[in-house]
Structure 1
Amino acid sequence: MKRLAAIACLAMSAIFATTPAHAAITVTDDSGAPVTLDRPAARVVSLAPHVTELLFAAGGGARVVGAVTYSDYPKEAQAIPRVGDNKALDLERIVALHPDLIVVWRHGNAARQMDRLKALNIPIYFSEPRHLDDIATSIDKLGALLGTQASAHAAADTFTRDIAQLRARYAQQPPVSVFYQVWDDPLMTLNRDNVFDEVIALCGGINVFAAETPRVPTISTEAVLAANPEAIVTATPGATKPDRPLPALERWRRWTSLTAVSRGNLFGIDGDLINRPTPRLALGAAQLCRDLQTARERRPK
């Protein structure tokens, strides 16, 4: 407790070291709580890789003084000092960086660590975009907190435009049933309560496990066979080529009666493009849309 109290005192001295010279800024974060700053944030700590991307997109990359492991995009983010990962944070290192804003992943950072962060009395913004529209909104809100509204709004508009163009091109195409494989052992997927389900629909696809619970349900091989998806998609470590085997999906090749297998519709997409709710999701969506169009073209004439 003494150690935590000392950290808290250090944090408070960092916050009140200077007198505010700007009008207060207030935005609502993804938990529904108001976040108020006396002035635009000048020193920000990011506690999730997607948060780091959003901060750079909002024009505040130069203000990010600390980030967690795997905050690797854009390239400049790789040089930011590390303050742990989403499971173990270095609170002393965070306080020593004198942040005036900490941006966390609402459900990704451990609750116990969140309680300790809150005790530091440093403003915290909870980030967890759950819908495609939330990504643009998040960029705008972070831009407001950073005082980089113009850059943020331009990035948000670009993402919104890219998504709208994909929707106009593919959403009304003949539907393709899709199984998105999150993990292969145990076998896991996503239900409708997430951004990627919207991406599937954007491309004219239908998530065959949309109605399952919880958000990341564990399913059986038999359930996939019964659903008989026309396409199976998974995240890969980096971009894949059409002729490159996908180890995570090899398990399905024995089921030659499965439509996705018989037609060769086993697709891999760079995980960073589809697992992070950032502007790069538009790139992942474009790839999925192309893959599902390929599945349509492979239908028997």
Structure 2
Amino acid sequence: MMVRTLLGSPRNSKYSCRGGPMWPLAASRPGRPHGGAPTITGHIPLSPVLSGILAWCAGQIGRNHARATHRVAPTFILCWFLGAIVTAFVLSCGGPSQERPTGGAVKSSSEGPPARIISMAPSITEVVFAMGLGDRVVGVSDFCDYPPEARKKPKIGGLVNPNMEAIVSLDPDLVIALPNVTHESLFRTLRHLGIRVLELPNDTLGDLFGTIRAIGKATSSEAAAEEMVRRLETKFDEVHRKVALAPRRRVMFVVGIEPLFVAGSGTFIDELITIAGGENIAGDSISKYPQIGIESVIARAPDVILYTSLNFELTPEQEAEAKKLWSVYPSLPAVREGRIRGLEADYVTLAGPRLEMGVEQIARAIHPEAFEQRGQGAE
């Protein structure tokens, strides 16, 4: 038994544990505050810290786990144990922070725009390169693999275990990271060394726009930042207009199987579903990525079930496997109508410029009829 989660790319790095199919769907004990209908239970937010730990687990397990294996390996048990501890710790701490100056000098303030940038997350790396700042990047995380040029940059460690020595040795004048309470000591040390640190969240589309603009301001690239925001907003408006007259379909966006996790409220995925003419069945969740039982899925009756290449490879064989997984629940409208659709993970699960393509992929999956006159799917 394994768990696949929304943590990165389909290449055993940023997000997922790659392996065989996951059976069966986990069931949770439903509550009934909504007119007797079961509600989502077992809310477990996937914090940046937990994301990092599960990404590390992916690396450990993915190297040795055969695709057909279904046993619970000791390493996997350790991963979940660590995840539970860190999640509890994160929940007990305050929310994410932005840049917090300390007594240390700030190189970029006195020497102009930063010339040596380190990105500590794949989504940030994509933004920085898309703004034309790739030549200034001197280091990236182990999981930064897009654009291809990013793979050639020196590595500074993973999401959960950044290497202080590697970072300092690259002599950066700007480090950009996701908020992470377990990295506060690292960030504090970097600031005392005179290195500017930006902590930029990426949970929502508002966060993404704020991150783009903050990076633009920090690098004196405001025009490029505004152009990126404009392109994203234009695409979102275009897609929304395209499906405006289509019936709103109930959508379940699967981010983890066995147990079943879905995208909930307070996430950019939830917002993309709305833009694309759907209604997220977990839009009333308390946490961002709640665990949901099959009773709740049946009660909420999704018209469309979306999964990504994190869960199954997007090949004809794996698409058939995904449909087979859900075929045991024929009462679900998505199963009856054959609306179980796969998406490219990197287009829809990383808050970055490629959401311009991802939002159309989601809309085409929910309302293919609205795009029949526009050729094939988004690139």
Fold shared by both chains (TM-score > 0.5): yes
Q: CA deviation at 1:142?
A: 0.9
Residue from 307, 311, 320 that aligns with 1:234: 307
Secondary structure of 1:66 counterpart? strand
Question: Is residue 2:357 matched to residue 1:283?
Answer: yes
TM-score by length of 1: 0.81
Runs of 5+ consecutive residues of structure 2 not aligned to the other structure: 1-95, 372-379
Partner of 2:151: 78
Counterpart in 1 of 2:97? 31
Cα distance between partner residues in 2 of 1:239 and 1:185: 17
Shift of 1:254: 1.2
Inter-partner Cα distance in structure 2 for 1:258 and 1:148: 49
Q: Is the 8 A contact 1:57 1:152 kept in 2?
A: no
Counterpart CA distance in 2 for 1:119 and 1:163 is 40
Q: 1:57, 1:139 within 8 Å by CA — same for their partners in 2? A: no
Answering whether residue 200 of structure 2 is matched by residue 127 of structure 1, we say yes
Deviates more, 1:47-56 or 1:171-180: 171-180
Structure 1 position 172, deviation (Å)? 4.3
Q: Distance in 2 between matches of 1:138 and 1:168?
A: 26
Note if contact 2:98-2:198 (Cα within 8 Å) is conserved in structure 1: no
**Taking structure 1 as reference, are residues 167 and 55 closer, same or farther at Cα in structure 2, changes over 3 Å only?**
same
Matched, 1:191 2:261: no
> How big is the alpha-carbon RMSD for the aligned residues of Structure 1 and Structure 2?
2.4
CA distance in 2, matches of 1:69, 1:90: 10
- The answer to whether the aligner puts 1:66 opposite 2:139 as a matched pair is yes
Matches within 5 A, 1:190-229: 190-229=263-302
Q: Which runs of 5+ in 1 are unaligned?
A: 1-29
Q: Percent identity?
A: 28
Check the 8 A contact 1:59/1:143 in 2, yes or no.
no
Question: Aligned letter for 2:129?
Answer: F
Shift of 1:241: 5.9
Higher share in strand: 1
Question: Is the alpha carbon distance of 1:256 and 1:130 closer, same or farther for their aligned partners in structure 2, counting shifts above 3 Å?
Answer: same
In the TM superposition, what is the alpha-carbon distance from 1:159 to its structure 2 partner? 1.8
Taking the aligned partners of 1:171 and 1:200, their CA distance within structure 2 comes to 13
Letter in 2 for 1:131: T
Aligned pair 1:292/2:292, yes or no?
A: no
SS of 2:190's partner is coil
Instruction: Tell me the CA shift for residue 148 of structure 1.
Output: 2.4
Relative to structure 1, is the Cα distance of residues 84 and 247 closer, same or farther in structure 2, using a 3 angstrom cutoff?
farther
- TM-score where L is the length of structure 2: 0.65
1:48 is the counterpart of 2:114: no
Quote the residue 1:112 is aligned against: 182
Give distance in 2, aligned partners of 1:132 and 1:239. 27
Cα separation, 2, equivalents of 1:120 and 1:241: 44
Q: Which range is displaced more, 118-127 or 282-291? A: 118-127
Partner of 2:327, secondary structure, is helix
Find 2:341's aligned residue among 261, 264, 267: 267
Number of aligned residue pairs? 265
Q: Deviations over 1:76-99 (max 9, x none)?
A: 111111111111111100000011
Deviates more, 1:34-43 or 1:204-213: 34-43
CA separation in 2, counterparts of 1:264 and 1:295? Answer: 14
**Which whole-Å CA distance do the structure 2 matches of 1:114 and 1:170 have between them?**
44
Q: Alignment partner of 1:180: what SS?
A: strand
Distance, in Å, in 1 between the alignment partners of 2:187 and 2:332 is: 49
User: Is 1:87 equivalent to 2:160 in the alignment?
Assistant: yes
**Larger mean Cα displacement after TM superposition, 86-95 or 136-145:** 136-145
The one-letter amino acid paired with 1:115 is S
Alpha-carbon separation, structure 1, partners of 2:98 and 2:151: 31
Whether the 8 Å contact between 2:178 and 2:202 is mirrored in structure 1 is no
